Chain A
């Protein structure tokens, strides 16, 4: 956007021309024309108050500018308008944790906090396509659970051809697994976790000591690692550890800290989100203890398998939020009676006041809306169920001001459904991410295939009238002849 000033006219003597007149021209870049979007819907579910009948959402520069009834909201004349009265608008769903959409979820290395998921995310993965299909507009991608300390994750929008286009929050969160990595026992897993952070402390202490001996270390170290020191990194800063700290860290510019240790330092200073993977209830207590001892309890999120409901009291007491993976029901067989028992876990979490988000991990491709719907059927309160895939999930990711509901100021992430968002017969028709329409079901070829399949060549389309039963049609040949005759008029069905 450029502002052109016209200079005052030369040789003007009248008062009228004494004032400077500015001509402000908004030079429109190609994107600015699309920066205004109006979404119309027969009903808008805002999740921030009552539903709005015959509503309108105005999105400008990626943010919601207005939400309200059609007659009460002013639509910019130069906005693109999408939607229709047969559609229902809903906030984009928020996937609070996933390890999909990337190349292999874990590295062989047990402790790899320096890995960055940006190197592994695949923008054209089917998972992101399916996110759009099911209205998921914000995704927190983290490393997988098969590690001791995994790498750094990222919050992304599931649209874009490059990772850069997808990024919402880079270098977001570090994955830790309390459940043992494949091949390890719990004892060795915990020991390695402790060792990792003890190793951090030792490293820092040694670093400080070395610095006390010689200065100029910072520049040399950064050079060696091929990095430039940013202004923040050039400065030293004392350690802010909540549970433990070392003295003298202000002597070391942040940029000089080994990039393998830097994320751990941020973690211990409570400046990184930590996603703790727990598969058994016993792991939960270890996770809480580990987080507390190392000062990142307030930044921790538990990623739980269904079996962990047994640790609900400990979770509630620690006040930690939960992402529930592995489904909604814990199923087990009573070894004495042989009967099958099911425990609906979200209800237990809700009862104890634990904030939780659901995950699409266990539902194949039926995704978050389906998990929320199933939960309601199992008896979970409707507002809690909806929140667990929108506002609560956003809150867990620190994005409560950005996504999760349709409110002025939040990102313009809107999903348009063909009917009630939780009905089995409703489809996602359109998806808008930050004011841009990124999905239209009418153009979704894979969805069409799923719904209708592809008619193979040679098989007839449905005849207008039922064909008379042919008594002698014993051989395949006869059948093939009939089909060949019809082939000319039949479509491929594609």
Chain B
């Protein structure tokens, strides 16, 4: 049977019957969908004019300048098609479950158990084209737990234990915010999340050990000697780490810690990663860096970090940090980074394949390649252009969201 559509506006009217058709044929046939877009953008930056993506049973079967098989369902999109976007950090869907104040070291806690897949945060992420996210705990524990990679629709957990999170941030320490900031207080000098000067002390009131950088390092050194468990896996290189650090001295400490213990993974935060004192340390540590999200008013030196890291060959991913940051900032992050000099293709890769690599799930998502999950986004124009709209998002081959 033929089912053709010409305009995006008619998408809605025709997808439902399409699904019905698919359902009828479910038991006896594979679910196939062909999507042709004016422009398909691949992970290496190349663009296929009138490219076609063929989806079978939720996975990508083929991508290329192919002919459409009229006998199978297809849809035509007058715009751009890219792989679904990947956010390398977020607190979506977790409410207050992201922070355990009772203990500082919780390396076995699985964040996967903390999220509610039906939470509206995920739909909001979907709206901006994000199909997979890395759920992390807050940076208020020295070892917050094991991150998870989940899809923003359908509730699929792509990876139950993606990273061991370690916080090198002063937010992990208990402190009584009176009379302690002395002459050389690092907090006074450091980077706030927007790259400006930090001007507030940590106000975490929980009273647990450790309360100092020295104490935290001692505790971590000791735990890395564990024989079993998350720490031992990280030490053996079997489990990547996600290190949160904001101030320059925190980032330096995190990078050196990773280098010294040969840990793989990424640093999250580091708004001043472009600082000439930090860049060599980050490069030597072979860690990736998860930056952002940037918003209007972010300090220029933080925005320039993207370009500096790109030039240094350090993989960059972007954070979503919902719900405290609006999901739309994810796209704004990319635009601001490009305005500050970052390479466009590289930025898109950071939002897709590189993000997937950082999340450790690149075998399944992040690019339009045969065998990967059929997560892709239909845009009205260039995805890096803020005036483009997300028209539809497909997750695991099924339409998950469409612009009404």
Binding site for B on A (CB under 8 A): 335-336, 338
- Do B189 and A336 touch (CB < 8 A)? no
- Do B197 and A335 touch (CB < 8 A)? yes
Chain B residues within 8 Å of A336, by CB: 301
Query: Chain B's nearest CB lies how many Å from the CB of A211?
Result: 62
Binding site for A on B (CB under 8 A): 189, 197, 301
- Do A338 and B189 touch (CB < 8 A)? yes
4 sampled A-B residue pairs with Cβ under 8 A: A335-B197, A336-B301, A338-B189, A338-B197
Chain B residues within 8 Å of A335, by CB: 197
Query: Chain A's nearest CB lies how many Å from the CB of B23?
Result: 60
Give Cα A24–Cα B197 distance, bound, in whole angstroms: 83
Chain A residues within 8 Å of B301, by CB: 336
Closest 4 CB pairs of A and B: A338-B189, A335-B197, A336-B301, A338-B197
| Chain A: CB-nearest residue to B196 | A335
Give Cα A338–Cα B198 distance, bound, in whole angstroms: 12
How many cross-chain pairs have Cβ atoms below 8 Å apart between A and B? 4
> How would you classify the secondary structure of chain A's contact residues: helix, strand, loop or mixed?
loop
| Chain A: CB-nearest residue to B197 | A335
Give Cα A338–Cα B248 distance, bound, in whole angstroms: 12
Give Cα A336–Cα B301 distance, bound, in whole angstroms: 8
Query: Chain A's nearest CB lies how many Å from the CB of B208?
Result: 32
Query: Chain B's nearest CB lies how many Å from the CB of A333?
Result: 9
Give Cα A338–Cα B196 distance, bound, in whole angstroms: 10
Query: Chain A's nearest CB lies how many Å from the CB of B106?
Result: 35
Query: Chain A's nearest CB lies how many Å from the CB of B340?
Result: 15
Give Cα A336–Cα B197 distance, bound, in whole angstroms: 10
Give Cα A384–Cα B197 distance, bound, in whole angstroms: 40
Chain B residues within 8 Å of A338, by CB: 189, 197
Chain A residues within 8 Å of B189, by CB: 338
Query: Chain B's nearest CB lies how many Å from the CB of A24?
Result: 73
Give Cα A338–Cα B189 distance, bound, in whole angstroms: 8
| Chain B: CB-nearest residue to A338 | B189
Give Cα A335–Cα B300 distance, bound, in whole angstroms: 12
Query: Chain A's nearest CB lies how many Å from the CB of B190?
Result: 10
Give Cα A335–Cα B189 distance, bound, in whole angstroms: 10
Query: Chain B's nearest CB lies how many Å from the CB of A478?
Result: 38
Chain A residues within 8 Å of B197, by CB: 335, 338
| Chain B: CB-nearest residue to A333 | B197
Give Cα A344–Cα B397 distance, bound, in whole angstroms: 69
Query: Chain B's nearest CB lies how many Å from the CB of A340?
Result: 11
Give Cα A338–Cα B301 distance, bound, in whole angstroms: 12
| Chain A: CB-nearest residue to B189 | A338
Query: Chain B's nearest CB lies how many Å from the CB of A406?
Result: 45
Query: Chain A's nearest CB lies how many Å from the CB of B298?
Result: 14
Give Cα A336–Cα B189 distance, bound, in whole angstroms: 12
| Chain B: CB-nearest residue to A336 | B301
| Chain B: CB-nearest residue to A337 | B301
Give Cα A279–Cα B211 distance, bound, in whole angstroms: 42
| Chain B: CB-nearest residue to A335 | B197
Query: Chain B's nearest CB lies how many Å from the CB of A336?
Result: 7
Query: Chain A's nearest CB lies how many Å from the CB of B288?
Result: 26
| Chain A: CB-nearest residue to B300 | A336
Give Cα A335–Cα B195 distance, bound, in whole angstroms: 11
Give Cα A338–Cα B197 distance, bound, in whole angstroms: 9
| Chain A: CB-nearest residue to B301 | A336
Query: Chain A's nearest CB lies how many Å from the CB of B394?
Result: 45
Query: Chain B's nearest CB lies how many Å from the CB of A71?
Result: 58
Query: Chain B's nearest CB lies how many Å from the CB of A332?
Result: 13
Give Cα A336–Cα B304 distance, bound, in whole angstroms: 13
Query: Chain B's nearest CB lies how many Å from the CB of A454?
Result: 30
Query: Chain B's nearest CB lies how many Å from the CB of A245?
Result: 53
Query: Chain B's nearest CB lies how many Å from the CB of A223?
Result: 61
Query: Chain B's nearest CB lies how many Å from the CB of A102?
Result: 33
Give Cα A338–Cα B277 distance, bound, in whole angstroms: 14
Query: Chain A's nearest CB lies how many Å from the CB of B249?
Result: 13
Query: Chain B's nearest CB lies how many Å from the CB of A98?
Result: 31
